[in-house]
Amino acid sequence: MFEKPFTLLDTNYSNLIPSLIIVVVIISGSLIISYFIIHAELLIILLFLFILPLFFIVRIEKLFICFIALSFIPFEFTFGGVEGWEIKDFLIPIFLLLFVGRSVIKKEALNRNPRFSFPLLLFLLIVLVHLITLEGLPKIIKTFLSFAIPAGGLRFFYSILICSIVYYLIPFAFKKESHIELFLKLLGGACIFLIIFSFIRIYLGIGTIFPNEAYSTIIHYVSIGESSVPRVGIMGVAGYFLFTISLIFVKSRSNILFLFLTIISIAAVVQSGGRAMFLGLVFATSLYLYLSGKKFKAAILPVGLFLVLLFIGMNPKIINRTPPILYRYLTIFSSENPSFNQDGNTRSAMVNMSWEIISKNPLWGARSVDSEWKYNRGTFDNVIRGSAHNAYLATAATFGLPALAIWLIVAVSYFKKIIYLYRKTNPASLLNNFCLFLAVLLGVLFLTFFLEGGAGGGFKYFMYLGLIDSAWNMFKKNQTQMINHIN
């Protein structure tokens, strides 16, 4: 008998209420903390006091899943004039301590299966050697023992450490399909909330809400000719996630709901002004069609978009006749592209500086450049911090071409693993759809890495790898149960 594919509409949402309450508590508590926080030490103490009661009320796995589902929302802080700190930078070590503490109390070993892949371990070893040689052991030990906030180069390496911990912990939290279901519902709900809330803010003209609000959540007004277009960067990320969820988990059940969510998603991405997420929508649809066996349709979509944008780029008069909100997308291949025709901190300057570092230090990379005077401070600081709006260039410039090659081996091996899981799991199961979801997200990430991302790939990349390991564990568990049932 034919089994109907799983969709999120098939499940009972009443059991989601406790988790939603937890999410509201986490968001509101984080916002309150971000408003009043002054010192990092106070933040760490408050987070301990805030998380520990929840640890005794809710299973740590569900608490961690709630956190991962909301991790794309940046709750940002400023310490000593240094921006870019987010609440996850402090929460993740706390979760690690909680997982380790529970294993000690229950006398259970933290057995991660599968363990760190050897290429990934080798890449992280290269990162560690860079850390020690560049910063020095005395400085590292002093910062660690004094509980000081890592600054300068240590801040960059701390971010990679946080990503590695997330990759390591995720398989301990995502153990069964109900955890996947909880994650998808919370992620989808958070995306819808963010999109609606951001549109209301734009309509009311509320630029900022909190003193330390993240750059991606603040309303920015971009001047295009005589018009001014509001942008909220986080809307693009939320729209992209929401579209991918609805494409894989909603479309097969309700075309009307899928159409409604698609309209919301596209509107959010367009309003965000993010070209990476705009291309992400197209590539996600194309990859979904390809993995679903519709290869011809999968090829037509990106090729058609490329030809249209190329034609418009060669005819600037067409751009002037379109709504200003579409300007950033229609000028991707145009000489009027704002990223390539302005002085200052542009992507072209970051690309040029990265290539200069790679050409002079191809084997080991560098975090400095001889001709610093050629670049403005914004471009210089971004590249030195391991960000060049291109993950491949940033990784090669920071750690060298051999490290990039190892990093690519990791990426390809995990992509092959999730494709294998998608083809081997039961087509009617949630796990199968989740494998397709991860395959699309990771595949699109490889493409958008040409337009965004820092050295090592960043938080989302390591999160996807951890989720793939979780899917692998669930697949092996299902296989074992099936064999035992037969025997």
Domain residue limits, the chain = 1-111+150-220+229-266
Secondary structure string (H, E, C) spanning 150-189: CCCHHHHHHHHHHHHHHHHHHHHHCCCHHHHHHHHHHHHH
User: What's the pLDDT score for residue 81?
Assistant: 46
User: What's the pLDDT score for residue 152?
Assistant: 67
Q: What is the DSSP string of 37-80?
A: ---HHHHHHHHHHHHHHHHHHS-HHHHHHHHHHTTTS--EEEET
Closest CA to 123 of 402, 350, 368: 402
Q: What is the DSSP string of 93-154?
A: HHHHHHHHHHHHHTT-----SS---HHHHHHHHHHHHHHHHHH-HHHHHHHHHTTPPP-THH
Radius of gyration for the alpha carbons in the chain, expressed in angstroms and rounded: 23
State how far the alpha carbon of 230 is from the alpha carbons of 168, 192, 328, in Å. 39, 19, 12
User: What's the pLDDT score for residue 52?
Assistant: 57
Compute the distance between CA of residue 349 and CA of residue 133 in angstroms, rounded to an integer.
28
Compute the distance between CA of residue 427 and CA of residue 252 in angstroms, rounded to an integer.
12
Which residue's entry shows tokens 């946080």? 162
Token pair for 307: 């030809």
234 neighbors 216 (Cβ within 8 angstroms): yes
Token pair for 71: 């991790």
Q: What is the pLDDT along the chain (487 residues), one digit of tens a residue?
A: 334 555 555 555 455 555 555 555 555 555 555 545 444 445 555 555 555 555 555 578 888 888 898 888 776 655 544 456 777 887 788 788 778 877 777 766 666 777 777 889 899 999 999 888 877 777 777 767 665 667 667 788 888 999 999 999 999 889 889 899 989 988 998 899 889 988 998 988 888 776 667 777 788 887 666 677 888 888 999 999 999 999 999 888 888 989 999 999 999 999 988 888 999 999 999 999 999 989 888 889 888 888 888 888 777 777 777 787 887 787 777 766 665 555 445 777 888 888 989 998 899 888 777 776 677 777 877 788 888 889 999 999 999 999 999 999 999 999 999 999 999 998 889 999 999 999 999 999 999 999 888 899 999 999 999 999 999 999 998 888 888 777 6
412 neighbors 465 (Cβ within 8 angstroms): no
Compute the distance between CA of residue 51 and CA of residue 60 in angstroms, rounded to an integer.
10
User: What's the pLDDT score for residue 46?
Assistant: 56
Going by C-beta distance under 8 Å and a sequence separation of 6 or more, which residues neighbour residue 108?
102
